[in-house]
Structure 1
Amino acid sequence: MGWVTRNLQSGRRLRPIDLARGHGLSTQAIRNYEEAGILPAADRTPHGYRAYTPLHERALAAFLALVPGHGHGTAASIMRAVNEGAADEAFGLIDGTHAELLADRRTLEAVENALRDLASAAVADRPAAAGSTAGSGPLFIGPLAGRLGIRPATLRAWERAGLVRPRRDPLTGYRVYDEADVRDARMAHQLRRGGYLLEQIAPLLAQVRAAGGPEPLESALTAWRTRLSSRGRALLTGAAALDAYLHARG
């Protein structure tokens, strides 16, 4: 049985060092957490020393469990709200983090769908036979718009937003879309169909360009999905610890 369990069962008073030791923290960190409202205010001994209780241990455990999923700032705000008796405010902060995680998941799924769309398009555009040039080479704005099923004006709007960056033919001045431009246009089209705004799409396409294409980006997307899963698990752990603290508060 650990020292925390013994203290929780005995209900005895805890010194700052007792609270800090179980989490590898300094006593100054414990005092800072109390001053920030993350821990409830401690009682004082007749000599002026802080006297913590098992309830403070629950609060500290809850805060430390909330940090990986919510971040330090939001976790601190959640604990302050709870300690001030504003549980609904704390729940609203928690809901906000879950909404943010859901938005990140949907963005990831949209990018993955766009990459799959690119892969399918690459197969469809591949020359049907050796020596064929159908579907290959640069495109002007009309043929590309027709291939995507959009208007040329849409491509021009995407260019103004930085989603596509076609070069200009030196003789005619016409826009010329090379293979990378076509790829970016396809991704933009897929993401727009998914409901994403132009300003949301631009940074995603910048990542594709920085990675050198969609293939190198796939490993980054796998790492992104892993991070989202880890954060989701951390939110569950934090919720359990916070629930234990709420029950201890009564």
Structure 2
Amino acid sequence: MEGERAVVEVLSTSDVAAATGYSVQQVRDLEAVGVIAPAVRAGNGYRRFTTAHVRDLRAYRELAHAVGPVEARRVMRELRTVATDEVVAAVFARHARLGHEREEARAARRALLAIRAESAHELEADPDGPADPATMTITELADALGVRTSTLRFWEQEGLLAPERIPTRAGSARRYRTPVIRDARITAALRSAGYPIPEVRAALTSIRDSGDCGAALEALEARLRDITGRMLALLRAGGVLAEIIRHHGLNRAG
């Protein structure tokens, strides 16, 4: 009996705020946008919440940490309105998306570690640098990186790459020497991990100034820690989301 009374316990807006860490106004706002079900209104107009609202807000907090507040709001609304199988599939898709994001960051880290190891080996072999560095055409470099030639031109336009221009009968052609090839590889690695152009530019500047990928690697490690934290938040939200889906989806089908 005591457990049943706890389930139907009536809570004020202030009670819900205290239990979830949100402000009173945030609780009202989240109710207004459909994150939690509308509260019953008492005769005096005051909201009457239940422990289910507290549960839903705690799930939303974890979900917002994992996938962002906009997407979290959409998921919480869908829990009460969309067919159960579709909601479950959507939640699993978000798990998969985080896993893919993590793998991209790990791949970028591997690429940077390889580039740093190669640079150290080259420096050890010839402290003054190679006398005749390797060069590649734009097509060769694009093929090596698995990107379009237009992508390399865009990176050049954004100041990430600075290839040489070799005169030809038709005008000029781009030639990429070893340092620029390295910059292109770093750019490709960071872009594949989701880094925006300004962050890639900052990383390249740091690498050129210091001659090492350490700062970029530290940034990737921080990103991997953030992704892990978001994955854990999604796991924590998962059990509560399953309970909400089960409660609201008993009579819904795909």
Answer whether TM exceeds 0.5 for this pair: yes
CA distance in 2, matches of 1:80, 1:45: 24
CA distance in 2, matches of 1:244, 1:97: 18
Alignment length (residue pairs): 228
Amino acid at match of 2:231: G
Distance 1:231 1:210, change over 3 A: farther
CA distance in 1, matches of 2:9, 2:34: 22
Q: Does 1:60 align with 2:57?
A: yes
Mapped contact 1:138–1:176 kept (Cα < 8 A): no
CA distance in 2, matches of 1:62, 1:202: 30
CA distance in 2, matches of 1:74, 1:220: 25
Amino acid at match of 2:10: R
Amino acid at match of 2:141: L
| Residue 148 of structure 1: aligned partner | none
Pairwise CA distance, 1:32: 2.0
Cα deviation 1:31-67 (Å, max 9, x = unaligned): 2222211111222323333222222222222222221
Q: What runs of 5+ residues in structure 2 fail to find an aligned partner?
A: 143-148
Decide which of 136, 154, 169 is 2:130's aligned counterpart: 136
TM-score by length of 2: 0.71
Q: Does 1:81 align with 2:72?
A: no
TM-score by length of 1: 0.72
Pairwise CA distance, 1:234: 1.0
Pairwise CA distance, 1:127: 6.1
Higher RCO (CA 8 Å, separation ≥ 6 residues): 2
Pairwise CA distance, 1:12: 2.4
Distance 1:23 1:65, change over 3 A: same
Identity of aligned residues (%): 24
Pairwise CA distance, 1:7: 8.7
Cα deviation 1:176-220 (Å, max 9, x = unaligned): 65553131244468x5xxxx88xx799485353133252321111
| Residue 42 of structure 1: aligned partner | 39
Pairwise CA distance, 1:227: 0.8
Q: Secondary structure, in 3 states, of the residue corresponding to 1:12?
A: coil
Distance 1:159 1:83, change over 3 A: closer
CA distance in 1, matches of 2:164, 2:123: 23
Distance 1:224 1:24, change over 3 A: closer
| Residue 146 of structure 2: aligned partner | none
Decide which of 144, 153, 158 is 1:160's aligned counterpart: 153
Cα deviation 1:162-181 (Å, max 9, x = unaligned): 264223479xx775655531
Cα deviation 1:76-114 (Å, max 9, x = unaligned): 111111122543443344234323322322221221121
CA distance in 1, matches of 2:52, 2:84: 17
Instruction: State which structure, 1 or 2, has the greater radius of gyration over its C-alpha atoms.
Output: 1
Amino acid at match of 1:136: P
| Aligned-residue RMSD, C-alpha | 3.7
Q: What runs of 5+ residues in structure 1 fail to find an aligned partner?
A: 146-150
Q: Secondary structure, in 3 states, of the residue corresponding to 1:183?
A: helix
Answer with 6-15 or 56-65: which moved more. Answer: 6-15
| Residue 237 of structure 1: aligned partner | 236
